[in-house]
Amino acid sequence: MSALIEIRDVSKVYRRDSIETPVLSGINLNVEHGEFLALMGPSGSGKTTLLNMIAGIDKPTSGQIRVGDTDIARMSESALAKWRASNVGFVFQFYNLIPVLTAFENVELPLLLTKLSKSERKKHVETALTIVGLSDRLNYYPKQLSGGQEQRVAIARAIVTDPLILIADEPTGDLDKTSAQEIMTLMQRLNSEFKKTIVMVTHDSHTASKASVLRHLEKGDLLPEDVQTN
């Protein structure tokens, strides 16, 4: 069985005016179905760039990125937007909830792009918020929630469409130790219980230790594999 995510000879060069800055060079990586991969590396190592390319919000300068049966490196912007809507769930460092929407409405956002009826959407949202343990905070606005709760709403938003992969960029980077622990426990549960494939970027080794596979990036190169067991 082939890997869920196949990255082949991916390079990324940023061009600003006449200056070219290579960020990634010749990356090869496989992420299996149900894998929880943590990407680590110092600032500027290219880990977020790689994550963005896996998520389809950035494109490689060269190489191939295949997710499932789709070569996302060659898709148009509009096709990528549709692809992301049904295949990718995002968890960001700063939660990025819409402040004028309640927890329920924030989680419902990705479902507005589907053909689900209002009652079906409600059911999905309530399920997602129950999984993250916030079924009693449906009508709370982000400012009425703690940082950990906001991140859990963000995770509910990421899983509500039952995407193929979860992309997490420093998901505990803005949280205290206890909240960070809760979030990582939840991420582990999503991976083990709900078989979600997760690709996470972090610079925190404790957070990274919760993943099943750990890879290091340095100056745009992916270091040899370092599989760890929990």
Partner 1 sequence: MKLLKMIFRNVFRHKLRTVLTILGIAVAVMAFGLLRTVVGAWGSGVAASSADRLVTRDAVTIINPLPLSYYNQIKQVSGVREVTYMNWFGGTYIDQSHFFARYAVDPGTFFSVYPEYLVGSKTLAAFRNQPNDCIVGSALAQRYNFKVGDVITIDGDIYPGTWEFQVAGIYKPKFKSTDAMAMFLNWNYLNEKVKQDFPGRADGVGWYVEQIDAGANSGDIGRRIDALFANSPAETKTESERQFQQGFLASAGAIISAMNYVSFVIVGIIMLVLANTMIMSARERTREYAVLKAIGFSGRHLIEMILGESLLVSLLGGALGIFLTYPVVESFASFASFLGADLFVQSATLLTAFAAVVFVGIAAALFPIQRTMNTKIADGIRFAG
Query: Which residues are near partner 1 by CB under 8 A?
Result: 48-49, 52, 55, 57-58, 77-78, 81-82, 84-86, 88, 90, 92, 94, 96, 98-101, 105, 108-110, 112-113, 157, 169
Task: Please list, in sequence order, all residues whose beta carbon lies within 8 angstroms of the beta carbon of residue 73, skipping any fewer than 6 positions away.
Answer: 10, 53, 59, 60, 63, 64, 65
* Residue type present at position 40: M
For partner 1, the closer CB: 157 or 196: 157
Report the nearest approach of partner 1 to the CB of residue 150 (Å). Answer: 13
Output 30 or 92, the one with its CB closest to partner 1.
92
Q: Give yes or no for a contact between 125 and 134, defined as CB atoms under 8 angstroms apart.
A: no
64 touches 8 (CB < 8 A): yes
Least distance in Å: CB of 112 to partner 1?
A: 5
Q: 74 or 206, CB closer to partner 1?
A: 74
Query: What is the maximal distance between C-alpha atoms in the chain?
Result: 54
Rounded (10°) CA dihedral 98, 102, 106, 108: -150
- Shortest distance in whole angstroms from residue 64 CB to partner 1: 20
User: Which residue, 14 or 194, has its beta carbon nearer to partner 1?
Assistant: 14
Cα–Cα distance, 43 to 122 (Å, whole number) = 40
Tokens of residue 170, six digits: 């420093």
* Closest to 150 in 3D by CA, of 102, 110, 199: 102
Residue 96 or 228 having the CB closest to partner 1: 96
* CB of 1 vs partner 1, minimal distance in Å: 28
Minimum distance from residue 77 beta carbon to partner 1 (Å): 8
Beta carbon of residue 209, minimum distance to partner 1 (angstroms, whole number): 26
DSSP symbols for 174-187: TS-HHHHHHHHHHH
Residue among 98 and 223 whose Cβ is closer to partner 1: 98
- 182 close to 140: Cβ distance less than 8 angstroms: no
